[in-house]
Amino acid sequence: MNTATARRSSSIRSDQLGMLMHRLHQYAGIHIDSSRGVIAQCIERRMTNLGIDDVDAYMGNFDESINARAEWLALIDLLTVKETRFFRQPMAFDCVADYVEGLLQQGPAPSELSFWSAGCSSGQEAYSIGMVIEHVMRRYQPWMQWHGIGTDISFDAINAAQRASYGFDSVRHVPLEFRDWYLQREGMDGWCVAPAICSQTNFFHSNLLHVNSAPFADFNIIFCQNVLIYFERDKQRWIIDQLTDRLRPGGLLVLGAGEDARWTNPNMRRADWPGVTAYRKTGG
């Protein structure tokens, strides 16, 4: 949204906005870090799409019904920032390559390897991890299997991730050797992720606030970058603990640079990778 639009006066009163944000926080556990003007514009856009002019009438949608759940999800889709890119933090992917190499060389080799990109947005993070794993495996143990998942609270993001189709500008951060192997041209200026990566990477809608009831477990690698900012400090730590429980012994947890560097867990040791907030699970 452009700032000129965001500055236009809003029909939503401050108390209505406050109430909606409070209820959104109760529902999804997340804080939206945009200015009040931008949030108000998102809500107005949603009301326009629904053909509703009256803010109170719109707020009446948020009752206990199943439709209310759908409306919360539609609003969250508009309000969450989905900025992402391939190989967003290059050193984190070097860390993954190093971890996978170590795993394959330490023997006896595991029969398969798995990862989870939690808060994956439109899929670039998950596909970047997949490319790195595939690349290392090709070199050391090409017969080995891997699979990965990406999860996000936004349906739009999950749909985009499943399409696996990206514009020219999006792929400029993919290192050339990976681009040659794992991306394919699609039309004049588009690219898609090659089947070798796509077919082993699946995407699901899931709210990290409910990670304790999500049916995901037993990963070698979990990425959770630039998502925890949506949660309060105690919730952030609870989520990281939950992710830790879903790692295999010896597994690797990668957070965003500088994200909760003071978090500790008796089962986790800080990994010695410069510039990367990563932890290894004990055992394995």
Ligand X SMILES: C[S@@+](CC[C@H](N)C(=O)[O-])C[C@H]1O[C@@H](n2cnc3c(N)ncnc32)[C@H](O)[C@@H]1O
229 secondary structure, DSSP code:
G
Cβ-based nearer residue to ligand X, 153 or 183: 153
Q: Which of 68, 73, 209, 214 binds ligand X (CB under 6 A)?
A: 209
Give the range of 19-27, 106-114, 116-124, 170-178 binding ligand X by CB under 6 A. 116-124
Residue in 12, 20, 30, 268 binding ligand X, rule: CB under 6 A? 30
Q: Which stretch binds ligand X (CB under 6 A): 90-98, 106-114, 175-183, 201-209?
A: 201-209
Using CA atoms, how far apart are residues 238 and 159, in angstroms rounded to an integer? Answer: 28
Residue with tokens 């170590």: 102
Q: Which residues pair with 201 in a beta bridge?
A: 148
Q: Which of residues 234-263 bind ligand X (CB under 6 A)?
A: none
Q: What would the two tokens of residue 242 be?
A: 């939950």
Beta strands in 119-196 (DSSP E): 145-152, 165-167, 183-186, 190-193
Which parts of 36-95 interact with ligand X (CB under 6 A)? Answer: 80-84, 88
Q: Provide the b/e sequence for 238-257 (b: ≥16 CB within 10 Å).
A: bbbeebbebbbebbbbbbbe
Piece in contact with ligand X (CB under 6 A), picked from 66-74, 150-158, 186-194, 271-279: 150-158
Q: Shortest Cβ distance from residue 261 to ligand X (Å)?
A: 17
Helices (H) and strands (E) in the chain, counts: 11, 10
- Tell me the residue nearest to ligand X as measured from the CB: 84
Binding site for ligand X (CB under 6 A): 28, 30, 80-84, 88, 119-121, 125, 152-154, 157, 207-209, 225-227, 230
